[in-house]
Amino acid sequence: MFILESYTAAVLFCVITMICWGSWGNSQKLAGKTWRYELFYWDYVFGVVLTALIFAFTLGSTGEFGRGFLADIKQAKPEWLASAFFGGIVFNAGNILLVASIAIAGLSVAFPIGIGLALVLGVLINFIGDPGKGNPVLLFSGVGLVTVAIIVNAVAYTLLPKQKFEAEEQTGDAAQSKGSSTANGILLAVACGILMSLFYFAVGRTIAGVQVDGKVLDLTVSALKDGGVLEAGKMTPYTANFVFTLGVLASSFVFVTIFMKKPVSGEPVPFSAYFKGTIRDHIWGLVGGGIWAVGMTLNVLASKVASPAVSYGLGQGATMVAAIWGVFVWKEFKNGTPTTDKMIYVMFVSFLAGLALIILAGA
């Protein structure tokens, strides 16, 4: 199987993850205004599973080192299979809340609040799980700057509805309706962040290291060349990633069904509506899922060279990427004032500085 060797390569993979995780949400917007997010999400899930399976049978099954996908999944212990599968369930619960928040509040709000919160909590959880890697002072200083960016972005967004509705001189009922929608979008993003902070640890703990002379080392080419062997019972990153996606798929039949019958906005959606979508609608969902799955696969590979806390933290820098899309492409802050414009600038600077410190922490 293909594995990494250097910290530099691991950081590069995490940067690609950041771009993938911060960009897939655009596919929801491109799917069309009439295509409900509940229907979009089914194609997104299918794209996630299909992409993970392709990685498993290609990069996960070729090369002179490690175990191939089929051999690896056969030897995996039930406890590790269950952990990766559970990680998929937890992720899916958080992610569908994220998609709902995007539909209500937009990319430049849902991602900074939801995924930003997931970054803060997720780094803490993964650092506690593997405290031997990374400089904690630099790591949590970086997380602190990201937290500042989250707060600034949230405040900037809460200013928008009031300014917009005052300018349009809309009445109390309209303002109350818009304010309720804003609050719902933020609440969904917060719930998403809490759930998203938990899934990565459940998956990461199932990935095998390399045993050399009784010690478990990082999953690198050099460790395997030195006579090391993969831990028995645990899985390669590709296998763990695929089992994780099965948890996503299985739980969708519960979570997505609930949201179709009890949507956060709009009328209930019947299952028959899925088959009325255009090819364009379905393709964008598959593309969105594929983009996210590429990022996840590269990130779990990087986590065995860099620490899980650093890999997860860098990957969730997707918040900044999504905010760039939302602000500069989708113009979600077009009704802002000079004050909100300055706050967005502060947000970007804080994110960049925070990510830089996280990279230095791992080095």
pLDDT single digits (tens) 186-232:
888 899 999 999 999 999 999 999 998 888 888 888 888 877 899 99
pLDDT at 42 over 70: yes
Amino acid (one-letter) located at 245: T
Domain carrying residue 60: 7-130+184-334
Q: Which residue spans within 187-310 are E strands per DSSP?
A: 210-212, 215-217, 229-230
Q: What is the pLDDT of residue 170?
A: 44
Question: Reduced to 3 states, what is the DSSP secondary structure of residue 63?
Answer: coil
Domain membership of residue 310 (yes or no) is: yes
Distance CA 201, CA 30 (A): 32
Distance CA 94, CA 38 (A): 14
Q: What is the pLDDT of residue 161?
A: 54
Within 10 A of 285 (CB to CB), how many other CB atoms are there?
25
Domain membership of residue 314 (yes or no) is: yes
Confidence of residue 248 (pLDDT cuts 50, 70, 90): very high
Contact (CB, 8 A) for 112 and 193: no
Distance CA 206, CA 160 (A): 44
Distance CA 307, CA 88 (A): 21
**For the chain, how many residues are written?**
363
Give the CA angle between residues 343, 315, 24 to the nearest 5°.
80
Average pLDDT over every residue of 100-125 = 80
pLDDT at 62 over 50: yes
Confidence of residue 348 (pLDDT cuts 50, 70, 90): confident
Tokens of 311: 């890999």
Most confidently modeled of 111-125, 159-173, 248-262, 344-358? Answer: 248-262
Confidence of residue 25 (pLDDT cuts 50, 70, 90): confident
Q: What is the pLDDT of residue 179?
A: 52
Question: Reduced to 3 states, what is the DSSP secondary structure of residue 138?
Answer: helix
Tokens of 174: 């309209």
Domain membership of residue 141 (yes or no) is: no
Domain membership of residue 88 (yes or no) is: yes
Helices 172-204, 237-261: crossing angle, 10 deg rounding = 150
Q: Considering only 88-97, 105-114, 305-314, which range has the smallest mean pLDDT?
A: 105-114
**Which of 207, 178, 210, 229 shows the shortest CA–CA distance to 303?**
207
Confidence of residue 132 (pLDDT cuts 50, 70, 90): low
Distance CA 258, CA 125 (A): 29
Structurally, the chain folds into a number of domains equal to: 1
pLDDT at 71 over 60: yes
**DSSP β-bridge partners for residue 217:** 210
Distance CA 324, CA 83 (A): 34
Domain membership of residue 143 (yes or no) is: no
Domain membership of residue 136 (yes or no) is: no
Contact (CB, 8 A) for 176 and 146: no
Domain membership of residue 312 (yes or no) is: yes
Q: What is the pLDDT of residue 108?
A: 64
Domain membership of residue 348 (yes or no) is: no
Average pLDDT over every residue of 81-85 = 98
**Which of 5, 3, 10, 6 shows the shortest CA–CA distance to 67?**
3
Tokens of 251: 């739980």
Most confidently modeled of 248-257, 302-311, 328-337? Answer: 248-257
Confidence of residue 107 (pLDDT cuts 50, 70, 90): low
User: If you search the block for the tokens 């695929």, which residue do you land on?
Assistant: 242
